[in-house]
């Protein structure tokens, strides 16, 4: 069964360092999502791509976070500089080209700890 | 802003007990409703969804949920839980077609064998 791949699975970094996360969606899925899940809370959408275009990045802290999906396939989420409050699980999800009953398929996530 | 409330953060049940997890949302227009589940060590996966039609929807593993529009609720139920249902359950709401998914804080269910 096809799955969303993410790497690394775990990342520990010091405050003010740069970190990057990678996501490879299910083949053929046009829509890609990055979520942040803080402990004890549900996932919160950071950015949504349709192919290589950003559809929604209203909750992305653009002073330190950036995301790209250059060829409309895999995607990278970057944080620079990392802050203590960025410690969280970063989830990637994908779905087929948007249709009314599109389901989002989630990857295993990257757990970030900022020290 | 649109919000989703899940009533209990932790629920502990014995096997064979009945389950009902509450979910309420704040948006008054047309919504799509979802329940996701995350088993220990696994990815978030879809349990069931409601878009339109019969307000009682059935999902995988014997779960069902009822959409009550007048109460802005989408509660998850299972008549008899098993130890393998131990997981975290998330309610999610999407306002109209194509808008972003908003998740509740989740309910951690532990089933004692």
pLDDT per residue as tens, chain A (115 positions): 789 999 999 999 999 999 999 999 999 999 999 999 999 899 999 999 999 999 999 999 999 999 999 888 999 999 999 999 999 999 999 998 765 556 889 999 999 999 9
Chain A: give the shortest CA distance to residue B83, in Å. Answer: 22
Q: CB-based contact (8 Å) between B4 and chain A?
A: yes
pLDDT at A72: 86
pLDDT at A102: 66
Average pLDDT value for residue range B9-36: 94
**Ramachandran quadrant class, A84 (left: phi over 0; alpha: psi -120 to 50; beta: rest):** alpha
Helix H or strand E encompassing A43: none
Question: Residue A70 contacts by C-beta under 8 Å, 6 or more apart in sequence?
Answer: A52
Task: Check CB contact under 8 Å for B49 and A43.
Answer: no
pLDDT at A98: 61
pLDDT at B29: 82
pLDDT at A57: 94
Q: CB-based contact (8 Å) between B12 and chain A?
A: no
Tokens 């009682």 locate to B56
Question: Which among B45, B90, B98 has CB closest to A42?
Answer: B90
pLDDT at A78: 98
Chain B: give the shortest CA distance to residue A98, in Å. Answer: 7
Contact A57, A47 (CB under 8 A): yes
Q: CB-based contact (8 Å) between B59 and chain A?
A: no
Task: Check CB contact under 8 Å for B100 and A40.
Answer: no
Give the count of beta carbons closer than 10 Å to the beta carbon of residue A3. Answer: 14
pLDDT at B110: 97
B46 to chain A: which residues are within 8 Å by CB?
A: 103-104
* H helix and E strand count, chain A: 0, 11
Q: Read off the pLDDT of residues B25-56 as tens digits, 9 standing for 90 and up.
A: 998 788 899 999 999 989 999 999 998 899 99
- SS3 label, residue B84: helix
Nearest to B88 by CA among B17, B35, B51, B30: B35
pLDDT at A1: 73
pLDDT at A35: 97
Task: Check CB contact under 8 Å for A101 and B49.
Answer: yes
Task: Check CB contact under 8 Å for B106 and A106.
Answer: no
């Amino acid at each position: 069964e096809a799955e969303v791949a993410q790497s690394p699975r775990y990342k520990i970094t010091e405050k003010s360092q740069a970190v990057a996360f990678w996501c490879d969606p299910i083949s053929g899925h046009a829509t890609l999502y990055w979520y942040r899940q803080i402990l004890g809370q549900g996932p919160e959408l950071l950015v949504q791509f349709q192919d290589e275009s950003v559809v929604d990045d209203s909750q992305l802290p653009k002073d330190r976070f950036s995301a790209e999906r250059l060829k409309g396939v895999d995607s990278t989420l970057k944080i620079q500089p990392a802050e203590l409050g960025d410690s969280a699980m970063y989830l990637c999800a994908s779905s087929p080209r948007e249709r009314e009953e599109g389901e989002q398929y989630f990857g295993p996530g990257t757990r970030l700890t900022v020290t | 802003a649109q919000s989703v409330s899940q009533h209990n953060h932790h629920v502990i049940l014995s096997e064979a007990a009945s389950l009902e997890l509450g979910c309420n949302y704040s948006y008054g227009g047309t919504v799509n409703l979802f329940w996701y589940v995350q088993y220990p060590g696994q990815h978030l996966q879809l349990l069931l969804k409601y878009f339109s039609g019969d307000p009682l929807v059935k999902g995988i593993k014997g779960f069902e949920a009822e959409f009550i529009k007048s109460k802005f609720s989408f509660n998850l139920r299972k008549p008899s839980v098993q130890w393998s249902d131990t997981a975290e359950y998330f309610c999610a709401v999407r306002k109209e077609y194509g808008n972003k998914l908003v998740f509740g804080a989740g309910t951690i269910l532990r089933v004692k064998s």
